[in-house]
Every structure is written in C-alpha cells, then in structure tokens.
Amino acid sequence: METKDYLRILREEIHSTVIATVDGEGHPVTRVIYIMLTDENSLYFITAKGKAFYAQHMAEIYPQEESRTALEVFQVAEGTGEFFDLSVKPIFRDTFVLGVSAKGEAGQMGQNGEKTQRNASGQQGGYFITDRCRGCRICCSKCPQKCIDMSAKPFVIQQEHCLHCGNCMEACPFGAVERR
C-alpha cells in the first residue's frame, strides 16, 4: 500500500489516534489527536483548547498572541510511519513516508529486494543475517513468524513479516544475526 492508503485508514477507520511525542521540556508523552483530513502525503489534526498538546503547539509554532486566534488545525507535513497488521500470521509490517523531503528515507527496497525501514539515525533498521551464517537453521526453529528465507545462503529475514523479537540473534551460535 502507499502512504495515501495508510492515511485513509487513519482518517476513516481509526480517526482518534494516540501519537508519541515529547513535551515542552523534551520528556516523552503520548497525545490523543483527531485526524480530520488527509491529502496525498500529509495529515491534518485538531486538538482542543485547554489540552496540553494545544498549548504546546501554540507556544512553539505560533508564539505571537495575534497569530493564535484562528489557527487550530495542525498539519503533519513530514515524517515516517510504521504499519503493523497483527491479525495475520506472519504479521505484516510496512513503512510509509509523509511529506516530500522525507521521501527516500524510509520504505526503500533492500539489497535482497525486501522492503526495509530506517531507524532513528537514518540507517536501515531491524535484524539482518550476515555472511557468518552457516545455514544450520537453528534460528528458523526459534522464529515465531517463520519469516527466515532458507533458499539462499546467507539466509534472509523477510523484513515485512519480522516481529523484531530478537530470538534469531539470541539463538544463533555463530553470531551471524545483527541488529541495526
């Protein structure tokens, strides 16, 4: 699916969404927002006057008193998102990108053709099997998603189904699995 498909799910099927962010002092907090509108690659939300999130946005984005009177709709113009479908087995995982400049930072194709994702430092994130793999299959027996492709060596983790549980890395006797 494309970004607009995930945004449609957020708008039409979920609507009230909990997002993780930081407060004015940089501490982690969660905020409930109501997603009202989306376009091709961004989303718009409102948060009510009186809520901490509203005050935080107004203080940071519209510091002048005059600029606050009419503006209560906020746009998330850039960012990355992760989608999980836990109702299927193996689970399905995907990434999507909001905005123009973020394109190319997530959801790219990896060297084995699988869709990959980026961690906080912009690197390809997740668990990966390296050339140290000897094909012993121990990791496959420990994988709850059965998402390790054994058709070539080194074996390949199918990133779109990986739960990031780390069992494979823990089980591998040759240290062939890396977390990036």
List interacting residues with ligand SF4 (CB under 6 A): 127, 129, 133-139, 142-145, 147-148, 155, 157, 162-168, 171-172, 174, 176-177
Task: Output 49 or 137, the one with its CB closest to ligand SF4.
Answer: 137
Q: What angle do CA 155, 158, 161 make, to 5 degrees?
A: 145
Task: Output 76 or 140, the one with its CB closest to ligand SF4.
Answer: 140
Q: Any bridge partners for residue 117, and if so which?
A: 125
Question: How far is it, in rounded angstroms, from Cα 116 to Cα 158?
Answer: 9
Task: Output 13 or 131, the one with its CB closest to ligand SF4.
Answer: 131
Structure-token pair, residue 55: 């005050």
In angstroms, what is the minimal distance from the CB of 145 to ligand SF4? 4
Q: CB-hemisphere CA count at 13 Å for 148?
A: 26
CB 80, CB 98: distance < 8 Å: yes
In angstroms, what is the minimal distance from the CB of 7 to ligand SF4? 27
In angstroms, what is the minimal distance from the CB of 88 to ligand SF4? 14
